[in-house]
A and B are shown apart, each in its own frame.
Chain A
Amino acid sequence: MAIECLVLGAGQEVGKSCVVVTINGKRIMFDCGMHMGYLDHRRYPDFSRISKLGDFDNALTCIIITHFHLDHVGALPYFTEVCGFHGPVYMTYPTKALAPLMLEDYRKVMVDRRGEEEQFTSDHIAECMKKVVAVDLRQTVHVDEDLQIRAYYAGHVIGAAMFYVKVGDAEMVYTGDYNMTPDRHLGAAQIDRLRLDLVITESTYATTIRDSRYSREREFLKAVHKCVSNGGKVLIPTFALGRAQELCILLDDYWERTNLKVPIYFSAGLTIQANMYYKMLISWTSQKIKDSYSTHNAFDFKHVHNFERSMINDPGPCVLFATPGMISGGFSLEVFKRWAPSEKNLVTLPGYCVAGTIGHKLMSGKPTKIDLDQDTQIDVRCQVHQLAFSPHTDSKGIMDLIKFLSPKHVILVHGEKPKMATLKEKIHSELGIQCYYPANNETVCIPSCHYVKAGASDIFIKRCQNPNFKFQKCSSSGAPGTSIQSCQNPDRSLTPRLQVKDERVAEGILVLEKSERAKVVHQEELLHRVGEKRHHIRFAYCCPVRVSDSTDISSKSDRDSCLQLLHSKLSCELSGGNIQNFGENLQMDSFHISVCPKDYCPYRIHETSHSETLAMYFCCFWEAIDEKLAWRILSAMENLDLREI
């Protein structure tokens, strides 16, 4: 059995996440995103690779969307409505609520503002959403008889989830985007310890290790506080969802704690609408907000008011959140134009700004003048503060998650190629896990576990009910007291000399018979079941011993006396053991000696050494456990001479 991963998007790049996984006959598409950097065919994943004929309904079992960002959901209406897919689409409740908002907003920007050709209509979005099945966190959904999916909290944005998929015995997790450290409004990703064959993880920050968010928060608060206490105005251009709420909670909390009275404003628009969603989706936020929810909804900001356009020129300090985030136009640009000329004021910028926006210009160097267009020039004297909050996990977070899940294989997507290569090496060397980072339209096949269902016999089950552990000495360990310096491999020297083993498993034997189900039986039952007798392996050797010339080998009395003689000699020779004499033969543990009357014994090795003297042959048998003893006795016998008395 194998899991087959076809990466349609976000392979060695960031954008249009889309991975199609074939797992035990089921085919699942994870995310269906669009690339924001392209306007041509590269914008969407190459869906033709799923099915040449476009028969997607038969080619795909279902689609799973992790969160509402356009690079994860942007191509969904196009795929379901334009390409035609009628199967179920799974996403979490908040994603289902917020994704149409994002899609509609995007469609508007594309069509209404830029006048581009419409890829999908509002109706498409609405129709697409009808196919969506919303799931809750940790709710196991049976898509069909064999396919189970389960969503786990991923942080990142509200409603973001990692998805666990199980088909038969093959199990895997697709993480989507996630964050391993909590922020002010969202918690950290949470997942159970699972036995996974494969984890497909994002790797946006494959090599970056970020500092504690505390220091970034402190810098931000310090800058804002300083500005407003000097009577300045703070402009915080943000995107509507996520960052605005996080910063707002941070500021609201700080205001509350330090009794600041300066007003905080939200510009009307998407942000306020989004706040409403946040207020309803409390169960998807961080623990702190959930805890305090019963007394105070953290999204009911105490110090935040609505902003009226007329207030732009009002005197006195204030803090204003305005969209869009990169000051590429809209209200934030309007406010920026008014506030930038005063050095008292402050503008905070997000960590990343697209080239060409004012945000980008402010970030690159410290311009004193910005040309908006040919006629307008903005005199920039205000302070600029850059915010480096990111909702993606850093490389340590990726490592921590993979270490915790310990899957058999890892596939990296959603990252930059050279960095992914570095991370792949790290995963391979530090965690010893196979790792791949396929490019777009490449397929990776990984083997998956195959379990065989086996029945168990009653005796075995009965034996299993009683615990049965044993302490085993570990043979690989060095001598006691070995110091660390002297050991080549310190890890080995640290394994204890005693280990606890469960004997129950060792007592079971798996029986596979033709045309019958596999069955585990207790080792004692095996013989009866197979209808065989117990065989013992015995070793044999016919050993010559010198005897006096007068001995008549054919005479029974002589043979007996020789045996007696041998007994007494061996008893002297082997001081440690107790050789028992049974008249006909001698015995010590499983070692038997008897006189060999045959002329030709199959166990005899013909040698010429004793040819000049008369030798009597003694047939010896022994079992494998007594091998050491046998060699001792045999070597003693070889050297014996029964002539001497």
Chain B
Amino acid sequence: MDLFHNTLQIEEESLSLSTLASMRSLIINPSTPQSTITSILQKLIRSLELSHDKVLLHYSLNLLTHLAIHHSSFSHFVFQSVCSHSLLSAQSTRLAVDSLQVLALITERVPDPGLNTDKLDDGFFVSLCFGPSVSARLWLLNNAGHFQLRPSLLFTVFLGFTNDPYPYVRKASLDGLVDLIHHGIFEDSSLVDVCYHRAVQLLGDMEDCVRSCAIRVVASWGLMLAASNADMKSYWSNEVFAKLCSMARDMSMEVRVEAFTALGKVEIVSEDFLLQTLSKRVLEVGKKKEVFGQNTTEQFKMLAASVAGALVHGLEDEFFQVRKSACLSLQRLAVLSTEFAHEALNILMDVLNDDSVVVRLQALKTMYYMAISGCLKVQEKHLHMFLGVLADNSREVRYSARKILKQVKLNSLLLFKSTIDGLLHSLSIYPQDEADVFPAVSHIGWNHKKFVAIVSKEVFEEVEAAFEGNSEFDSARVAALLILCISASLAHVNVGTIPPVLFSYAVTLLGRISSAFIDVMERDALLAYLSDKSRSIDCFASNINHGGGEKQLPLVQGDYSYCASNDVTSLVETSHKIDVEFEIQPQFVREPKDVLNSQVEQRPVHDEVIKFTDLTLSKVPDVWSLIQSGFTSEALKILRSWKEDLASMRSDFAGSADALAFTLQYLQIIKHLAKIWGNFPQEKLICSRATGALDFELAKLDRKVEEFRIRFIGFSPQEELNVLELMLVTCVLRLCEADICCRILTLKRLTATFSQVEHLLKESSVAPSTFIAELRKLLPEGVTSINEASQSPLEFGKCLKLFCLKHFIYSGTIRHVRAELSIVNNDFEHPLPFVSGLPVGIECDITLHNIASDHRLWLSMTMNDDGPSQYVFMDWKLLEGSGEERNFAFVAPFYGTPKASSFKLKVRIGLKCSFDDAVLGQTCEGPGLGLAFLCPDKEVYLSNVLKTKSHYHQ
């Protein structure tokens, strides 16, 4: 140490590299005394001030970084000195950037609120960027995010440097542009336009790295351009899609991977473009172009060549990374069009022959997602490949294939038989798979009861032969066959076709079989069921009516649609209706929860939620057909259990929480609708019926639909139409009641809503549903006076019959408008003080989610449950916070403090429905009628100051 001090003294004048090296070892040595560190620090700082040697300065700065990081007590000082000495008075850009690097590192590693890089203002940044040092420029562009710079400035700088002769600078500026998109919305669409086109030019850059970055910019900015351009959205989306497709044939693997990743991000593409990606030949245009009109056709002609076969090329690429990425983008795109999904499946089946396991797995995963989104249509020509996968020698591949089989709906007996054969064959090759094959068999049996009924005779013969010892006893195969039959019988298919003796055979294999039903019922329950079934041998013929025994069975929650209320005769009569029901049922089975599976795939929770909500939503039309055919109670049962299931799901992830709320609300509406529908005999009017209950129900429905419309934002035109159609139905339902009092008002609302529908239809050029078309006939244009609209309820009733619930696809853009309200420092034991007659301020802590800028929020305060209400308008836009979530404190004044020692206030946040005002022409002060409440009531306790004082005196 002394030696070092000597060195310091000797080399007082200037530092040498070796001195710096020994300093470094002292700095990183934790046992170096503080005093030495201090002297080193001073020495270094002095050299910063005095030295002119660029190399030495570079190293000194480097050492200072080390010093600040290893000895955090000095970090503040180092930061300040570098700031004052080196940064601003630097002799070269390179050194200035070196110092910046030091500052950035220190702020990154040493969290100290006292450190800030205010020195780096916009002008300084730009001047450094424009310096001659390329590496400095590169560093600045790469690290621009560390400094607080105006986005508009960054945009200009980044955009400008996309023209730099150095490829890495171009790449860095493109990267910057991609990041910039997260920082704010660029309202000037011409800027977005420029940026997008610059990136499109760079798609032809000589350097691979620039091209792949350009793809990211094209995707992100292009989609933003599409989003900012409402009337040309589809045009721009197609344009971006085509540009990305054209990169699918790039020579660089990284670029291709990037291109396919970006393709998956496109959310709207016309079907022609999608189909074209699957064909290398340029397709003919003009099959069903009316939807998008002339524009798309012309655009398609122009761009088809670059789109042609993009996905096919991706799937047959030399590099598995590209093939995998192409599979993944296919998965995302498949939901956009059913026809595309069907076409894509043909190619995807061939990918199962890929030599890379990773790609095969991704292809299967894609198919699985297609299956759960209902667009997987397996055909006979696919069988060879698909069943081949069941015999694949990779365990993961086999597992994934079976996972699809659990979901898939086979539409012919041949398919069904071959699938079962394939499964049993794979079981014989890989006996170790039994634990997963059996549940797959049970799912298939469950999903295809009719087919099971057809094959049950053969199965019975084979099983019987095996048990009688007439043929070789292959226990796994027999068990699988038994599982097939039992699963079908669990779903209450006509049990007559399955001989009861099968159940008694099953009992002997209970241990193995029960594993297949592990997610449906417990082993004991299965045993009870089996023995019950096998006991019925005696009364086989008369066993058709199985009412009593069934109810003891601890059936799963999923088994909702058991038609307890219908006797067998009605079952037979309405068998076609029941089919619908059968189709719904199997999907309720929860995912198998065995350990084996969970190892293979662990999906994040929110994904599960979205999947489940999607599934539920997709089944809604089926429920509707139940409702229409008069199975109201069944439908209600199903809805209720869905709601229970949904309610039991928890989700922290914002997107899935929205999906959950959305689905719940939607189901609630359908529930009300179902109730009303059940009370509405379609043919005759209900004049005589006591309308009280119905009115009540209608009002509920009305409110729910209204709320639905308001509390969710981000509907696509099609979704918006669905919601509006629900509103129309509500109005029409009301009008069908002949003797309602508010007929005029309802008609007004009907016409107003209908005009919105018309407007939407015109804008989005979607074909109207039959219901809307029929309603249009009833409402001649320009109906303003009610006398004109003299349609009888009967006609509205006819119209109503045409209504059918559509499949509501939750697109992910829908957001739940909600709020959280808490009152600061208040509960029953700690009331707020007030002076009667004087206003009192109530401190609320409010968090708003997904509130759009045109929303008007009111705070409603109701005294003592049923007392008078007071509304306070909240101009939340003036308050800070931004984005989807805003949190702020708000002091709400309450004026009408009563002459009481204490009272209670109910505070809620309400969202104004602008709709009602327009229709009803209300001009009263305050929010008026239509307030949709965004949060549950919050109770505030207040207590009179005088009373409190006296309390204290005592």
A-side residues, CB < 8 A to B, are 180-182, 184, 187-188, 190-193, 209-215, 217-218, 221-222, 225, 253-254, 256-259, 286-288, 394, 396, 399-400, 403-404, 406, 430, 465-469, 471, 480, 483-485, 490, 494-502
Contacts and interface: CB of A to CB of B under 8 A. Distances in A.
B353 interface: yes
27 contacts: A181-B316, A188-B317, A192-B251, A193-B206, A193-B251, A213-B316, A218-B349, A222-B384, A225-B384, A257-B394, A288-B318, A288-B356, A396-B280, A396-B308, A396-B309, A404-B251, A467-B129, A467-B161, A471-B156, A471-B194, A480-B190, A483-B231, A484-B295, A485-B294, A496-B194, A496-B196, A500-B163
Contact of A288 (B197, B239, B294, B320): B320
B197 A187 contact: no
Nearest to A256: B393
B232 interface: yes
Nearest to B349: A218
Contact of B197 (A182, A225, A496): A496
B482 to A, nearest CB: 26
B820 interface: no
A267 to B, nearest CB: 25
A218 B161 contact: no
Nearest to B164: A467
Contacts, number: 131
Nearest to B137: A467
A90 to B, nearest CB: 23
Nearest to A394: B280
A259 B429 contact: yes
Contacts of A180: 249
Nearest to B282: A209
B302 interface: yes
B441 interface: no
Nearest to B397: A257
The 4 closest A-B pairs by CB, nearest first: A214-B350, A182-B318, A465-B132, A469-B160
Contacts of B320: 287-288
Contacts of B129: 467
Given A182-B318, A191-B251, A396-B280, A258 B388 contact: yes
Q: Which of B191, B231, B309, B353 has most chain A Cβ within 10 Å?
A: B353
Given A188-B318, A485-B295, A496 B388 contact: no
Interface string B126-137: 000111100001
B313 interface: yes
Q: Which of B196, B305, B392 has most chain A Cβ within 10 Å?
A: B305
Nearest to B205: A193
B159 interface: yes
B280 A211 contact: yes
Contacts of A466: 130-132
B944 to A, nearest CB: 63
Given A191-B251, A213-B316, A287-B318, A257 B163 contact: no
Contacts of A192: 251
Given A212-B315, A494-B197, A497-B190, A469 B163 contact: yes
A467 B161 CA distance: 8
A286 B161 CA distance: 38
B280 A404 contact: no
A184 B354 CA distance: 10
B41 interface: no
Contacts of A399: 305
A497 B393 CA distance: 58
Interface in B662-679: none
Q: Which of B194, B197, B251, B347 has most chain A Cβ within 10 Å?
A: B251
B134 to A, nearest CB: 9
A211 B385 CA distance: 18
A500 B231 CA distance: 28
Nearest to B169: A467
Given A217-B353, A259-B429, A467 B130 contact: yes
Contacts of A212: 280, 312, 315-316, 347, 350
Given A187-B318, A466-B132, A500-B162, 16 more contacts: A184-B355, A188-B318, A213-B316, A214-B347, A218-B349, A218-B350, A218-B385, A257-B393, A403-B249, A404-B249, A465-B132, A469-B161, A480-B190, A484-B232, A496-B196, A498-B194
A330 to B, nearest CB: 31
Contact of A498 (B162, B190, B232, B295): B190
Contact of A496 (B131, B190, B250, B302): B190
A490 B137 contact: no
Contacts of B308: 396
A190 B355 contact: no
A108 B315 CA distance: 43
A567 B319 CA distance: 80
B393 A218 contact: no
B332 to A, nearest CB: 20
B474 interface: no
Contacts of A490: 298-299, 302
A33 B71 CA distance: 75
Nearest to A216: B350
B235 interface: yes
Contact of B391 (A215, A258, A404, A499): A258
B102 interface: no
Nearest to A184: B355
B305 A400 contact: no
B280 A214 contact: no
Interface string B208-219: 000000000000
Contacts of B194: 471, 496-500
B198 interface: yes
Nearest to A480: B190
Contacts of B231: 483
Given A258-B393, A259-B429, A286 B318 contact: yes
Given A288-B355, A396-B309, A497 B193 contact: yes
A247 to B, nearest CB: 14
Interface string B153-171: 0001001111110000000
A217 B350 CA distance: 8
Contacts of B388: 257-258
B351 interface: yes
Q: Which of A210, A214, A499, A502 has most chain B Cβ within 10 Å?
A: A214
A192 B206 CA distance: 8
Nearest to A288: B355
B281 interface: yes
A257 B392 contact: yes
Nearest to A286: B318
A60 to B, nearest CB: 31
Given A193-B206, A259-B391, A495-B197, A221 B353 contact: yes
A257 B349 CA distance: 16
Interface string B460-502: 0000000000000000000000000000000000000000000
Given A217-B350, A484-B295, A253 B315 contact: no
A201 to B, nearest CB: 15
B190 A400 contact: no
Contact of A500 (B198, B302, B356, B394): B198
A182 B350 contact: no
Interface string B297-312: 0110010010011001
Contacts of B163: 469, 500-502
B203 to A, nearest CB: 11
Contact of A258 (B130, B197, B298, B392): B392
Nearest to B160: A469
Given A218-B350, A467-B160, A500-B163, A182 B384 contact: no
Contacts of B385: 218
Given A217-B350, A469-B163, A497-B190, A253 B393 contact: no
A501 to B, nearest CB: 8
Contacts of A471: 156, 159-160, 194
Contacts of A253: 355
A484 B239 CA distance: 13
